[in-house]
Every structure is written in C-alpha cells, then in structure tokens.
Structure 1
Amino acid sequence: MRSAAADRPSSLVDMHTGRSLMPSPARQARTSINCSLAGRICRNLRLHPEQLSCTISDTRTSNLRYTGDWLNPRGDNWSTLSERLRGTPALHQCLDLLLETRSLNSIRRIGIPLLSSELLPDEPVQTRGYDRAFWLAYLSNAMATLANGMMVRYSDFVDMIGGDEQQLGLIVGVGMIGSIIIRVAQGEAIDRIGSARVWFWSVVVYTFSLLLHLSISSATTPGVFLVRALMQASLAGFFGASITFVSLRVPPKRMAEIVGALGTSGFLGLMIGPLISDWLGSGELTQEQMVQRMFWTAAALALASAIATWFAVQGAVLPVRHARPPLLSVIRQYHPLMISMTAAVMGAGFAIPATFLRPFAIEAHLSHVGVFFVIYAMTGFGARLASRSLFERYGNRPWIVVGLTLLSISYLCYVPVTNTWHLIAPAALAGMAHALLFPSIMSAGTAVFPRRYLGVATSLILAMFDVGTFISAPIIGIFLRYAKPETPYAYQLMFAGVAAVFAVVTILFICSSAGHARHAEE
C-alpha cells in the first residue's frame, strides 16, 4: 500500500526555469498542504510526481494564462473552469481539491500536461473590485460622462440648424434606434469577443461621432439622424462594455455595489459637463461658435476616455469561442419583463430633463440650468456612496420601489418652478432616484441570466433604458409642439402627466414579484 508521502512531488520545481524552490520555515505548513495537494492531483491524473510542478507564492495575479500545453491557474474564476471540466471527472476532482484547500493564493502555478486551450476560461479574475483596472475604468467613465454631460445644450445645436422642440424630440428618439439595435449585437459581441475590445472601440467611435456633428447643416436631413444614432450607439457600447468589464471582476452578489461605485464617476461628469456648456454659452460667442467649441471640447474629453480605456484593458483575457444557443432563445428564456419596464421608465425619467430642461428654462425665463445638474450630481454622488452596501444587505427590490417613488415626486416638483433656484428640489430627488435605481435595476435584471450571458443581460437592460427615451422623447416633443400654442402651461402639464405615468408603473412593480433575490443556475 502506497503512503501519502510517496505520492508527493520529490521537489518543488519552477516550470519555466526548472529550478528547485524550497519554502522557508515560515511557510512550511502551507507548503505541506500544497505538496499533499500535488500528490492527490497526481493520483487523480495518474501522473508521476515529477510531471507536476508548482511554485509556492503569495502573489495575487490577475488572470489565467495559457503557455504551450500548460494551464496555469493564477487565482482565476474557478466557476467558469469548473463548468468546462465537468466532462472530465478526474480534472474536475482536482479542481475541487484546489477549492477545498483554499490554495488559490498560495499556489502560483500548477502545470498539468495535455490540457488543451479549449479549457481556458473566458472570464477575468474575480477580485475585490477596486484595483488598478477599476480606477482606470472609473477615469474613463468620468471623461465620457463629462463629454456626454456637455450635450445638455444639444437643443442649441438643433436650433442652430433650424429645428424646434418637435424636431429635437424626433432626432433624439430616432437616435435611440441606433442605440437599441447596437445593444442587441453588442451584448452578443461582449460575450464572444470580450468586453475589453467592445469598450475600447466604442469610445473611439463616440469620439468621431461628436466631431461628425460639425458637418451637419440642416435639422431635416438624414445625416443628423444618422450621426445622432451613431453617437448613441457608441455611447451604448461604451457603458454596456465597461459595466460588464467591472462586473465580471466581482461575485454576482456584489454587482450592484461595483456598478454603483463606477457610477459615481458619472455623477461627477453630469455635474461638471453642463457647467462647461453653460460657461461656453454665457460669453460673447455666437451660437455657432458655442456649438463648435462644445463638440470639440467633448471630443477631446472622449479621446482622454479612450486613452484611459486602453490602459484599463491591457492584459484582459479574450473569451474562448464555444457553442452558444441563439440569442433570441436566451432572451426569451431569461428576459425579466417587469424589470425591463422599470428600466424603460428610468431611462425616460433621466432623459427628459437632459433633453427638454433647456427649452423649458428658456420658456420660463430661467437664467441657466447648470445649477440643476450640479445639485443632481452632488445629491446622486452622496446617495450612491451612502447606499453602496445596502443593495447586498437588503436586496434590490426595496431600493427600486424607493427610487421609482422619488422619481415620480421629482416630476411634480417641476410644476411650480418659476426661477432657477426652484430647480433644486426636483434635481435633488432625481439625483437620489438615479443613485438607487441604476445599480439595483442592473443587478436585479442581470441576476436572472447565467453568468456566461452577462454581456447580453447587461446590454438588454441598458437597451430598455434607451427604449424609454425612444418612446418618451418624440411623444413629448409632439405634445409640446401642439400644446404650446393652446396654453402657457404646456410644460407643467407635461411634467404632471409624466409623474402620473411613473406612479402607475411604481404601483405595478409593487404588486409584482420582480426584483427578489434570484440568481440563475450556471
């Protein structure tokens, strides 16, 4: 009968250099565990101990590399590898041994011959989340949101090329078609070619789409709709891929937290971007000069975002191609209907001020709208930080209800606005609603999808945000076009009507079972 000692490797050998690595006395206990583990792996694989080599190290590394015929686990997402090893019981049992001894941080490399590259996992390592890649993503998101925040004066661009509120609503609404269409393809692309590639190229295209606006001279030509659609589609790709990128780096239960943390950078962009646009519009520049500088400045910020993205995705592991069911069957099987409706309401709720607040301010003789976005962003930033751990503690459903309620009330607060400072109340309520709704809806909506379809799930929920904008912007634009000649309270009626619709959706959500903690089986 063989002893356990006989099954252990005779020495610890670095697979690359062939040098023997003897552990220090301080690491003797951990080394003993790992040597025993190596012996058990040898037995399961029917390998001679000398065929197995490992290096003892406490170093945390970021992903799983494939070198020749060796698979080198370095703290990777083991659930993905486990799924692919189910058809090979011996290898799967070895993986269980690794998990059993909690040696993910103490074994730097375990070389197992004859494993093909088909066993490579397609997800990045699950870390604590707040590493170098996250903070580069944070910077990239802040720059892109800052550029997008400057588009609060997009109505000035439409006015410059000869459009009114109705045309503004049509341009924004039709532009959302591009965003919605690209979201469907984008989710599949993220899961197939990786969120890193989609993220980088989306922000590059977004930069060019901003500059293409400078070539548009009419509000009725197809070009303005195409350019707006390109801008929205690339922005959709940017946010969807960046959210997926950071979400895959933490366990599913922490998704709301990490998405919320990333989203705080967006509040900074929303706060500063409109101020830059207001500053450009408050000088002695003509409308045309102001619009040109707005787009050039936004493009420069988007370029800075692209640079940050480039550094963030360095070393990202590309997903391995494998058989996947048709996209429509995945959506039909896992699509959360009520969460999607809630996401559409949220999208409309946040897009309406960004699109129509500027024309409303002109109608109400308000000096500027920058104060609204400053209060909105500051309140949202504070609420996001305060609520960061509450989603994991109490679940997503309570915060969706609170967020929808605050959003409905915020629209009622627009009705009595007669001066700039009256915008503080709706801005504060909308900021808190945004802080609660976005991470909770994203987490609840994607939780029902298996982890391997996270790209599709994220893109689907983000697409529903765009659907809300696509439906609401043209309707509101047409309503204002015909209501303004009939009554001086057209905007007030619009805000009250939107609040009523949001209240109805809130009641429907409360009566449903949507948002309860439930994760799909892998």
Structure 2
Amino acid sequence: MSVSSEVSELSAAPARLPAPARRRDEGPLYGRTFWLTYLGNTAFTIAMALMYRYADFVLYLGGTEWNVGLIVGLGMVGSLAMRLFQGYGIDHFGARRVWLWSNTLFVLSLLAHLTVSDPRGPWIFVLRILYATSLAGVFGSSITSISRRLPLERTAEVIGTLGTSGFIGMAVGPMLGDYFCGHEPITRTDLVWMFTVAAALGTISLFCAELATRHDTRRPSHRRSPMLWVLKRYHPGGVMFLAVVLGFGLVIPTTFLPTFIEARAIENTGTFWVAYAGTAFMARLATRSFPQRYGVRPMILIGLASLAVSLLLYLPVRTQWALVLPGVFAGISHAVLFPSVTAQGATSFPSRYRGMGTSVMLAMLDTGMFVGAPVVGRAVEVSQGAGLPPYTTTFVSLSIGVMLTGVCYALFARRR
C-alpha cells in the first residue's frame, strides 16, 4: 500500500458524525492506551517513511526506474488483498490479533530484504507484497482498535489527533533516509542500516501495540451482507476514478523522488518532506470545516489543482531547497483531496456499510498506485529512449492528465 495513503487513513476523520450516542467508558480518551498507540504509530510511520528510499535499494541492485515501478506497483496486490480481508479478519480474529500479526510481518519483511540480490527475481516481489500487506493491516486494525473504545461523538477528534503521528513520521523518516542514502556512492552497508533501523522502529511499534491492546477482548462477529451485492447497490460512481488519480499522484513523491533528485544531482529529500508534512498538517487543520461550509466538491477541485501544480513545480528544481515548492503544493493536495474523495465515495453507502465504503475508496487509491508505479517508471524510460527529457516529459503528461480530470469532474458536478 501507498505509505502516504496509510498516513491519510490515520489522519482522515468522518466529515459528519451523528448526535452523541452512548459512551463507551473504557478509560480516559487520552490515557495510557491512546499514548501507547500514538507512540507506536509514530515509530511505525517513521519506519514506513524511511522506505521512501526504496528506489535507491532497487537501483543499487542493478535495477532501473521500470523495475522500481513494477516492484512497487505489484506490491500493491498485497494491500488490495488486505483491504478485502480486513473487515472479515478483524471481525473474526479481533483487531488486536490482526494488528500484532501485521506488525510482525512488517518487521520480518524488512529484515528479509537483506537477503535480496536480484531486482528482477521473484523474491523481491514476494517481499514487497508482504510489506504492503503489513502496512494495510497495521493501520486498519489500529484505527479499529482505538475507535472501538471511544464515545461516538469524540471519535473524529481522537482519530484526528492520532493522525498527527503520521505527519511526524513523514517529516522524520525521510531525514533518516537522507542520512543513510543521501550521498554517492550508496553502499550495501548503508542499505543494511536503512532496513535494520526501519525494522527496529517496527519492533518498537509492535511492543507498543502489544501493551496498548493487552486488555482488549474480541467482539462477536455479525452476519455480513455479500460485498458484491453491497457494491452493486451503493456504487459510488465516478468518484472512484478520482481516488485512482490520487494514487497516481502519490506515486511521484513516495516512489520516484529519489530517482528524480539523483537525475538532478541533488542528494537529500528532507526539505521536500518537511515542507510536505508541515503544509499538509496546517492545511488539514485550516480546512477541517470546509466540507460542512462549502461542500466536498470545491475541496476536490482545490486538491486536483494543487496536485497538477505540484507536478509542474518539479520542472525548475535544481537544488535541494527548490524542492520546497512542489512539497508545499503536494502537501496541500494530500491534505484536502484524500479526505474529500474518501468522504464523497464512502457516504454513498449507508451508515451500516460505511466501513466497507471507506475500504472501497482506499482500495481504489491502492489501484492508482498499482497501475501508476509501473506506468510512471516506463514513461521515464521511454522518454529517455526517445531523446526527450525523461522526468519533464513524465511530469508534464501527468499534470495534463490531472487537469483534464479536474475539468471533467467540474462539468459532471455542475450537471448534477
């Protein structure tokens, strides 16, 4: 799964909640369980963001941008599979077990990468699929676990507060990545340290999860309607395509930023991610009441415009500090587009199927990553082979595609 999509999943909160219902008095809202979860998620997202340097690993092994895109894209199969299993798995086994199992898989998949020597062999694809599966499992089960102990009227507040751990991780993780891989030449030792530190952070997260859920009890499962029947009846429509487009947009910073800065003779990505995370954090706070005041559609248009602009702002980048501008607009896009698209899609489902609706929208985001990563990788190589500036051609093409999507959405939304 996309790392940014997982951070978004943490920081997104329902746009509207029902009137205060019964309380679930299971301790203070910001007590021991919350802060253990917060610490665990912070460690986890730092480890996850450290893997933004995954492309350096593939290139070190002798791969190309095409191999990077193919590995990351096919890895999303694991995330999509977990989306389908997650609801049943949490109901059947309990959020605690799924959380701990997924976190353990995360650590093991990172350490197993140290045995990879061929970027084209099946082993690296298997490990990437397991890695993406673990991401989806950890975030989905952790949110379920913490939300089940909250009073309904405070759920948005607490989940939103928990989501700030994701932005901390997005700022700190890439700095660690720069420390290990932000120089030439990158050595095997650098990569061993990168995966080992990420696994250590994952172990801290696992320890926190075990303590936070030690007293959890598994809820009884309920009869579930067939998923295909629900999707056919409450299909969210064209907004699903917007989630795919967002997935394409997230591929650039989370997968191809290291290869882009290498082509521009820039060593570090830290300035981009500090600008990205800081802007996303502030934009999320500044726009949290916009959907209620102005509706979701203007938010989607603002997000698409910011995404298109961010892609064009990569073109003049020649120094590390010039990465700030695309980082700012990419952060705005992330902050406003993800919750808006997810909310519009999920709210087409009735409240009893709202969880499934959210999972469907996140699965479409993963589909965008699944398709987008190999497409972007191939576009870079084809452009280079044709004698065109590879990243300029790719980014301009993607920006035009996002603009056309925005125009089509604006026309469609007006007719409705």
Task: State if a TM-score over 0.5 links the two structures.
Answer: yes
User: Percentage identity across aligned positions?
Assistant: 40
Residues 91 and 220 in structure 2, CA contact (< 8 A), matched pair in contact too: no
User: Tell me, what secondary structure is at the counterpart of 1:469?
Assistant: helix
In the alignment, what sits opposite 1:371? 271
Q: Which has the larger radius of gyration?
A: 1
Return closer, same or farther for 1:282/1:470 CA change in 2, 3 Å cut-off: closer
Is 2:224 the partner of 1:324?
yes
In the alignment, what sits opposite 2:131? 231
In the alignment, what sits opposite 1:242? 142
In the alignment, what sits opposite 1:304? 204
Match among 88, 103, 126 for residue 203 of structure 1 = 103
Note the alpha carbon deviations across 1:464-486, whole angstroms, 9 max, x for none: 12111111111111111121133
Note the alpha carbon deviations across 1:111-130, whole angstroms, 9 max, x for none: xxxxxxxxxxxxx6799965
Match among 45, 59, 64 for residue 164 of structure 1 = 64
Return closer, same or farther for 1:272/1:103 CA change in 2, 3 Å cut-off: closer
Residues 191 and 452 in structure 1, CA contact (< 8 A), matched pair in contact too: no
Match among 290, 297, 300 for residue 397 of structure 1 = 297
In the alignment, what sits opposite 1:288? 188
Greater shift in the superposed pair: 327-336 or 189-198: 189-198
Is 2:149 the partner of 1:265?
no
Match among 177, 190, 201 for residue 90 of structure 2 = 190
* Superposition map of 1:423-502 within 5 A: 423-502=323-402
Residues 126 and 251 in structure 1, CA contact (< 8 A), matched pair in contact too: no
Match among 280, 283, 295 for residue 380 of structure 1 = 280
User: Tell me, what secondary structure is at the counterpart of 2:238?
Assistant: helix
Return closer, same or farther for 1:320/1:215 CA change in 2, 3 Å cut-off: same
Count of residues in correspondence between the two structures: 399
Residues 183 and 267 in structure 2, CA contact (< 8 A), matched pair in contact too: no
Residues 256 and 443 in structure 1, CA contact (< 8 A), matched pair in contact too: no
Q: TM-score, normalised by structure 2?
A: 0.86
In the alignment, what sits opposite 1:149? 49
In the alignment, what sits opposite 2:411? 511
Query: 1:332 is matched by which residue type in structure 2?
Result: K
In the alignment, what sits opposite 1:422? 322
* Superposition map of 1:14-413 within 5 A: 130=30, 132-247=32-147, 259-282=159-182, 287-392=187-292, 394-413=294-313
Return closer, same or farther for 1:127/1:449 CA change in 2, 3 Å cut-off: farther
Question: Gapped runs of 5+ residues in structure 2?
Answer: 1-18
For residues 148 and 136 of structure 1, the distance between their equivalents in structure 2, rounded to whole angstroms, comes to 18
1:173 shift after superposition: 0.8
For residues 234 and 153 of structure 2, the distance between their equivalents in structure 1, rounded to whole angstroms, comes to 18
Residues 383 and 393 in structure 2, CA contact (< 8 A), matched pair in contact too: no
User: Tell me, what secondary structure is at the counterpart of 1:484?
Assistant: helix
Residues 177 and 229 in structure 1, CA contact (< 8 A), matched pair in contact too: yes
Query: 1:148 is matched by which residue type in structure 2?
Result: M
1:504 shift after superposition: 2.1
RMSD: 3.1
Residues 183 and 236 in structure 1, CA contact (< 8 A), matched pair in contact too: yes
In the alignment, what sits opposite 1:117? none
Q: TM-score, normalised by structure 1?
A: 0.69
Structure in which a larger fraction of residues adopt helix:
2
Return closer, same or farther for 1:451/1:203 CA change in 2, 3 Å cut-off: farther
Return closer, same or farther for 1:400/1:317 CA change in 2, 3 Å cut-off: farther
Note the alpha carbon deviations across 1:428-449, whole angstroms, 9 max, x for none: 0111221222333333333333
1:157 shift after superposition: 1.0
1:224 shift after superposition: 0.5
Greater shift in the superposed pair: 340-349 or 358-367: 340-349
For residues 232 and 225 of structure 2, the distance between their equivalents in structure 1, rounded to whole angstroms, comes to 11
1:228 shift after superposition: 0.3
